[in-house]
Amino acid sequence: MNDIKITVAIPVYNREDCIAKCIESVLQQTVLPFEIVVVDDGSTDNTRNVIESLLADHPQINFFAAPKNGGENYARNRCVEQANGEFIFWLDSDDYIVPDAIESVLAAMNKYPGFLHYMFLTSDRQIEFTGSTAFSKKKHVTTFNDWVTSAVSGDFAHVMHKSVFEGLPFFEDIRGFPGINFLRIHRKTKRQLFVNKLVTIRDRNRADALSLTGYLSNRKSIWEQFVNTNYFFEHFEDDLLALDKKLLVRKAKKNVLLGVAIREIGKNREMIDRLKKKKVRLFPFDIINTGLAAPFVYKMITSYVSIKQHGIVNRE
């Protein structure tokens, strides 16, 4: 079982209150991983000191302190560079793993060999998966087509062969949204194995969780979502066009609105014209794509998001 070398990778930024618990959950495993890589992304609180206090007694911790904050994707790339294991087990710094997580992961990989990407259950999806025909089973295979068409979405506990990152670094010019890179990896691996075994306990109620901070509530967050979606079209437009044209149109129309809100009229026009050549029309959003509409669209987006965040409208 221990022949497979697993690196637990923990990117962290300003988590002085929980990083020790996260790391200690790995150190207290029934079977220890080959290595723990911790990348501090230029924290400005006491995070670095907390991590360094653990190093002397735990040589399996490989610690890299970034000279400045570069964002989540920057930190993930440094994790990949530092990792010496065969597989990388991604662990968010505000989460922790159950005592037999590594043992369970190794057991699954030995029982079901041949995959480059394994996925496991997280605490925040237990109830959701109870009623799922596919994900309530002991194991389930997903494919790139499932992901690109949003037949499968959301996060898992990911364990990925280090080779899948070769030539596919996380996009560092956007600070979050690692999902686009994961989607490129889904295409590369073709098939991913989900094993219905709880390994990660997640805290999604933190006010500073990346998934909750500033989503479409200001120009910066709208710009980041716009850039992220343009990356999607750059890499997966033809895939989605072949699989689900209606979904492609919906995503493109939403992105036009984001672009208008931040006055990316030229960038929108490039997408509109490109899709038109592929016989995809975005009417009437192609007409809305003007600077004059920008303040109204911006107000519409931020007001709607504010209503959703206050629980008046259910999240999609």
Residue range 240-292, pLDDT digits in tens: 999 999 999 999 999 999 999 999 999 999 999 999 999 999 999 999 999 99
Residue range 38-89, pLDDT digits in tens: 999 999 999 999 999 999 899 999 999 999 899 999 999 999 999 999 999 9
Residue range 144-200, pLDDT digits in tens: 999 999 999 989 999 999 999 999 999 888 777 888 899 999 999 999 999 999 999
The torsion of the CA quartet 154, 80, 92, 45, rounded to 10 degrees, works out to -140
- CB contact at 8 A, 144 and 151: no
Per DSSP, which regions of the chain are E strands? 6-12, 35-40, 61-65, 87-90, 96-97, 117-122, 139-143, 157-161, 191-201
What does the alpha-carbon distance between residue 141 and residue 24 come to, in Å, rounded to a whole number? 31
Domains in the chain: ranges and CATH: 6-201 (3.90.550.10), 219-309 (no CATH)
**Long-range CB contact pairs, 285-290, < 8 A, 24+:** 285/252, 285/253, 285/256, 285/257, 286/256, 288/256, 288/257, 288/260, 289/256, 289/259, 289/260, 289/265, 290/260, 290/265
Residue range 96-122, pLDDT digits in tens: 999 999 999 999 999 999 999 999 999
pTM across the whole model: 0.89
Can the peptide bond before residue 113 be classed as cis, meaning omega within 30 degrees of 0?
Answer: no
Q: Which amino acid is at 52?
A: E
